[in-house]
Chain A
Amino acid sequence: AQTVTQSQPEMSVQEAETVTLSCTYDTSESDYYLFWYKQPPSRQMILVIRQEAYKQQNATENRFSVNFQKAAKSFSLKISDSQLGDAAMYFCAYRSWNQGGSEKLVFGKGTKLTVNP
């Protein structure tokens, strides 16, 4: 079964600086999708960025970018020019499949990001 590990329960960053959140995963599949979701205090899950495993180029979305290392099964999220609104729980997720053949997301335990003014 696929597993997703986020080894940093909490991280903090100064406003305007850069922070990197770590994520590793375990899979035997060769083609898959990885995601970073943000959950602010409102509890609404928001997709930050996604990466297709077959793409070698790292995904970027404005201030958010990933460092996808397929061989190492690593998928870290870099947030540049951190803003107060970036404070949230960040979950790394792997798109997998259940026994019935339906897709499912497997989430890591999350990293709580604090942005200091």
Chain B
Amino acid sequence: GAVVSQHPSRVICKSGTSVKIECRSLDFQATTMFWYRQFPKQSLMLMATSNEGSKATYEQGVEKDKFLINHASLTLSTLTVTSAHPEDSSFYICSAGRGGTYEQYFGPGTRLTVT
């Protein structure tokens, strides 16, 4: 149990366009979802935390207008990178927290390349 999926797994977009990444908890209800960014050979950096039905909490230094997060249901959170630029190219990973446990269950990640 506790499977989290992400879609797409890879995406290439042109500079200036927007791209949406979906994160779904497949077999449990996720009260909280997290979005991370991972640069090559580096650690995961938390971008924001989203709770179902409320606004996301962004980490310091993360532009909320650029990285739009929506957590519309207990099984789906989306990250939209608006007006993407080449420096936004990275590996984006989501995770989901299940009530009653202290673990986060991670999705397989999405590689974004902005050309």
Contact = CB atoms under 8 A, between A and B. Distances in A.
A43 B108 contact: yes
Contacts, number: 58
A19 interface: no
B19 interface: no
Interface in A1-51: 33, 35, 37, 42-47, 50
B102 A110 contact: no
Interface residues of B, number: 23
Interface string A51-69: 0100000000000000000
Given A44-B109, A102-B51, A102-B57, A107 B97 contact: no
B26 to A, nearest CB: 14
B108 A42 contact: yes
Contacts of A98: 46, 49, 57, 59
